[in-house]
Structure 1
Amino acid sequence: MAKGRLRRRLSRINQPLADRPVHSLVDRVQIPQDIPSPWLRITKRIVIALAVLCAVVLIVYIDRDGYRDNQGDGLSLLDCFYYATVSLSTTGYGDITPVTAGARLVNVLVITPLRVAFLIVLIGTTVETLTTESRQAFKIQQWRNKVRNHTVVIGYGTKGRTAVAAMVGDEIAPGDIVVVDEDTAALERAKSAGLVTVRGTATDSEVLRLAGAQHAKTIIVAANRDDTAVLVTLTARELAPNAKIIAAVRESDNEHLLKQSGADSTVVTSETAGRLLGIAVQTPSVVAMMEDLLTPDAGFAIAEREVTTKEVGSSPRHQTDIVLGVVRGNKLIRVDDAEVDALELGDRLLYIRSNEER
């Protein structure tokens, strides 16, 4: 008997995260939700309580002939309000009672449920606290059932936050972005930004599976260490063979390791920052323009679009837009390359877009 209980306990511990009951994931997965102001919630509860009170008053007043006070008199409208108040608050002084069978039946079938509803409204904060976990578990289950083609951001430090800000500025919905991190403070910042968060280390395939990486369209690896980025990229590629993986690396010597691990694109953060610092010495305005191009929600931005049928056969250098390059067959070709002297159907143009065009 003891061995059987131990075996069941161990099986629950070793159960993959994605296969565990939803209520056990509440501490790991957080779904953003709109929280109304306290005054709005209080006002709403007061209105509901008054509506219930008025409903009881109306019911008692309509059937007032079925009630008597302790002196045997009938009920006035004020008596109905008094009876409804003491009845809903469960005070019940007993000075007004239903005497006919119909009045008592109405008390049992109508007024008693309204009394329960009235009490729930009064203690709504406690009830809401008790049901928060259940509602969160329900939202997690809904999210897991429908999450597809989203973006998973691994690491919500400076690089991760900046990447998310750029995506949101490029009109990607925050609800389509999932952040994976171990740091509680980082997850709180991501949650306050309206992002879905998953707590855990991304080197664990079960944590990535919980974030829906197997169904993701894009995975961004923004780890703080290069060795962690390589391991995360390898784990993510094994779990999501069709996802586009973009990984950041601090040192260029480690860039080939990311590509070998399955990264489609890599960004060398230290060298990129170094180049911008060097350029800023002689031409700081160039750096300012680069910053403008990399900020999608202001000024100019680098964008990508498909070639139209009217543009097929023409040169990318003779377009209305300022074209920087042509993407053909997942390969980026510079605009001055003879290979793209004539645009083809299916090509994509990398061009400079004004923020006013959005």
Structure 2
Amino acid sequence: MTKNDQPSGPGRTPSRRSRYRLSRRPDSDPESGSRITLPTQPPQPPLRQVSRRLVLALAVLVATTLIVWLDRSGYNDNSDGSVDLLDAAYYATVTLSTTGYGDVTPVSDGARLTNILVITPLRVVFLIILVGTTLEVLTERTRQQWRIGRWKDTVREHTVVIGYGTKGRHAVATLLGQGVDRREIVIVDPQAKVIDQVAMDGLVGVQGDGTRTETLLRAELARAARVVVAPGRDDTSVLVTLTARQLNKHATVVAAVREDENAPLLRQSGADVVVTSSSSAGRLLGMSMLSPHAGAVMEDLLTYGNGLDVVERPVTKAEAGHSPRDCVDLVVAVVRGRRVLNYTEPEAAVLQLTDRVITIKPA
């Protein structure tokens, strides 16, 4: 990040010119157009879809043939006057295909009534099966629009993850491992193929530039409880954080940044927590060099669902009034209000019912 891109004083955000320069360099894709995708099932192979339609069409043809043959006394064949099974199949074929040569015709009132109430609906079903691809596309679009509208009306207190690269995917995996419902996670990414993969993973995806207000509004960020900012560039992280904080003043914003010198910009932009990926990796490397076992333990703690996990949870009634050392789990810190107390501090000697504890426990 250049000097011109940094705020000129405490609490000041980048100027319009700097912001414009930054916004010209987002992690975007030329094919990116804003759209919302909901969780989907893997599409069936084309051959299976065609085979299924052929089986349905054949079933309708067989049913029509049986109906005509059972009521064959009410039909007349111009060639010999009688209708056998072959004539019934022939009549069903030309009728369902709307050809209608007129050589086999219903003559009785019952046969004509059957044609009105049964054969004609079967003809419509047969035609729908033949043009099923087009109708299926239209139906799926209508259904998707209805699902998106319903999702917008019901989504509340969710988590918006901006950027679905390595950092974003691991953040989502950790959230899912801690019990967050997939329906409460929304992914924002500019690449169409990434959003398609998001839908296959069972998550809601919004394709678009995360630095733009309209994209974040489509993700319903204004009603989100948590925001994870994890794009691939530090300047993009600053712009995303500024836009997110402008839309939502109360959400918890956690942002990732590559360089330490850009961390103050993220905090001034409104991030509650800033994680520096390069320095964190360097510290882990240094620890692993001096003590490989300590480095392995730290890596284990950072990998949720494997070995030992770091978990924040509320204090139970049985634990209130006791020391953190009396808890079943290993307590390393106590969260009291907005303060984080080390378990060795005198204020944390007695747990309160309104406290939360950060513990290490088996995965």
Indicate the TM-score class for this superposition, using the shorter chain for normalisation. Answer: 0.7 to 0.9
Identify if the C-alpha distance between structure 1 residues 40 and 172 changes in structure 2 by more than 3 Å, giving closer, same or farther: farther
Matched, 1:219 2:227: yes
Contact 2:189 2:206 in 1 (8 A): yes
8 Å CA contact retained: 1:325, 1:351: yes
In structure 2, the CA distance between the partners of 1:70 and 1:141, relative to structure 1 (3 Å rule), is: same
Q: Name the aligned partner's letter for residue 239 of structure 1.
A: L
Contact 2:37–2:196, Cα closer than 8 Å, also in 1 = no
SS class of match (1:92): coil
8 Å CA contact 2:34, 2:215 repeated in 1: no
Instruction: Say if 2:252 is the partner of 1:236.
Output: no
CA contact (8 A) 2:40 2:199 kept: no
Structure 2 length normalisation: TM-score?
Answer: 0.83
Give deviations 1:172-218, integer Å, cap 9, x for gaps: 23332211122334333333322222122222212111111011121
Secondary structure at the aligned position of 1:351 is classed as strand
Q: Matches of 1:204 and 1:27 in 2, distance apart? A: 10
| Aligned match of 1:287 | 295
Other structure's SS at 2:318 match: helix
For structure 2, the residue ranges without an aligned partner over 5 or more in a row are 1-32
Letter in 2 for 1:29: I
The amino acid across from 2:301 in the alignment is L
Please name the residue that 2:36 is paired with: 29
Q: 1:309 to 1:252 in 2, by over 3 A?
A: same
Deviations 1:308-339 (A, max 9, x none): 11111111022221111111113221111111
Shift in Å at residue 130 of structure 1? 4.1
- 1:246 pairs with 2:254: yes
CA drift of 1:67 comes to 0.8
Comparing 86-95 with 299-308, greater Cα deviation is found at: 86-95
Task: Note the C-alpha offset of 1:222.
Answer: 0.8
Q: Letter of the 1:120 partner, please give it.
A: I
Task: Decide which of 154, 171, 175 is 2:162's aligned counterpart.
Answer: 154
Asked if structure 1 preserves the Cα contact closer than 8 Å seen for 2:188 and 2:206, the reply is yes
Q: Is the 8 A contact 1:175 1:196 kept in 2?
A: yes
The 1:60–1:247 alpha-carbon spacing in structure 2 relative to 1, beyond 3 Å, is: same
- Pairs aligned (count): 331
Deviations 1:55-78 (A, max 9, x none): 423432443322111235343445
Deviation digits for residues 276-303 of structure 1, max 9, x if unmatched? 1111112222222222222222222111
Among candidates 318, 331, 334, match of residue 326 of structure 1: 334
Instruction: State the match for 2:279 in structure 1.
Output: 271
Structure 1 residue 275 displacement after superposition: 0.2
What letter is aligned with 1:139?
R
C-alpha deviation, 1:43, in angstroms: 5.4
Letter in 2 for 1:33: T
What is residue 116 of structure 1 aligned with on the other side? 124
AA partner of residue 296 (structure 2)? A
Task: Show structure 1 runs of 5+ residues with no match.
Answer: 1-25
1:163 matched to 2:163? The reply is no
1:116-157 Cα shifts (integer Å, max 9, x gaps): 211221332233234443333222222212222211111122
Deviates more, 1:130-139 or 1:264-273: 130-139
Residue 137 (structure 1) aligned with residue 155 (structure 2): no
